[in-house]
Structure 1
Amino acid sequence: MAAYNKEKVLILTPVSRFYNEYWQNLLRLTYPRELVELGFIVPRSKDGDLALKKLEKAIKQVQTGKKENRFSKITILRQDTESLQEQSEKSRHALKVQKERRANMALARNSLLFSALGPYTSWVLWLDSDIVETPPTLVQDLVSHDKPVVSANCYQRYYNEEKKEQDIRPYDYNNWVESEQGLKMAEEMADDEIIVEGYAEMATYRVLMAHFYDSNGDQNTLMELDGVGGAAVMVKADVHRDGAMFPPFPFYHLIETEGFAKMAKRLGYQVFGLPNYLVYHYNE
């Protein structure tokens, strides 16, 4: 329906590393290319320089190729803020660096959004650079729910040593429903403190969408959320135009994508997740 109505979709990706699998998956998306704009923001770091080179090469191949395969517009920005140097999965996810790391991510997302959002954009798809597998109909599927904010469920493929076979496991725990414990923790915190989901030392007992995946369930099942991750989230452009952005500061003790969900809700928009609709994160 969105394609029929010629609704323009802006796909935004902060890139600290370039994964060829991400790019190939992006090229497999079936939403009409003439209605798709892309936006990337790359940190000023050694990894960032390398990612930029690979990204520019990949873009050049597509944008100088057949006209029907070209994207309508592509924006690449360099990140002004200092990037965290250590980018291994373990160091990126250490609790002590979360506030700084996610504040930087929030600033990068906002720069990208404010630079790339056009007057005719209908939808903004936030797609992380390490999402390497989605249904080819990702855009149509998420847009079809016609919700202000809707998030896919992010999993990861891995080799299960016990079963001796390929398996899947939950990856992104930032899609959640608030709990009494979470609210109580927030009440007792200093103004500049944040709650970060998925850490044993900060047990919120929130309901996590990651745990609600049912392999036999309906892909279109929706659950209302209070927090979202950034893996694959479709946002009506007007939600962003209305002022919902990614707070780089504690906003009701939340930051970045989870702070964005809180901000959207404070503005009166509902936030949803699709527990049975999976996208897959790169496995390092």
Structure 2
Amino acid sequence: MDAVLDDVFIDEISLPATDGYTLAGTLFLPRGAKRHAVLINSATAVPRKIYRGFASYLAHRGCAVLTYDYRGIGGSRLPAMVGYNRPKSLAGFKASMSDWAALDVTAAVDWMRERYSALPLAYVGHSFGGQALGLIANNSEVSRAAFVASQAATWRLMTSPEKYRVFVFMKLIGVPLAHALGYALGYAPGWAGVGEDLPKGVFLQWTEWVSSPRYLFDSNLPALENFARFKGELRALCFSDDPWATRPAVELLASGFTATMPEVLTVKPSDVGARAIGHFGFFRPEHRDTLWRGVAEWIQRE
């Protein structure tokens, strides 16, 4: 259903993944001329609604913006349930993080290019959303990528004591719990500390990567070769009080994009008059005239 909010048109839509699975999305359009297209790609277990304010802000500035949920998350939990109340469980649901990239993110990039072929396409990746850019075969369609707290999330590069909490949770609690409940439920429950309920395959692959010294770069995914396909501009923001996306972790992810020269910027909360930013704080409306404006101006740079 269409809506208008502060001179921005907001349309709740659905789009097909590359295998036909229905993904829930929200399209934000400016009233005036469209000058850029922007795809916002979510963090793990994070529904698209948290990006609504930032997406609206970009639309105000003349961007056509799409947010969407990966399969198994938010409005994309089951194809038949898009636009309705979520089902109570993900029992029997098959998905992995590499599926999110190959099937969902790939399709979202194609969807934007088909509809806005005359506009430069920018890619905003939050946490896993940035990682996914390196895994998709069509990342050459993206002219500029802005990463927000996006990193190679090995526990070894997190700050103390968070890294030990993550290690204990994932290896000693999360994995056994996912296996034990997975047989009955088919997913890792959000109440265990992972955010939203996660498909079992997503959680187990995520845990495998977090446990590896070089995160996903230690996997044998054929899709890793796609990192070298991206030749656009890349700016990665890390925040000094983020225990997950530390600068070394952000630099490790950026190092995989060998065909470009990534720019990694560290922001302190005091730099923008904030008390804290952390892993999610960038998307709070209080940063409209600081962090949001900075990223928007970079995206829209000719």
The verdict on a shared fold, with TM-score over 0.5 as the criterion, is: no
Q: Which has the higher strand share?
A: 1
TM-score by length of 1: 0.32
TM-score by length of 2: 0.31
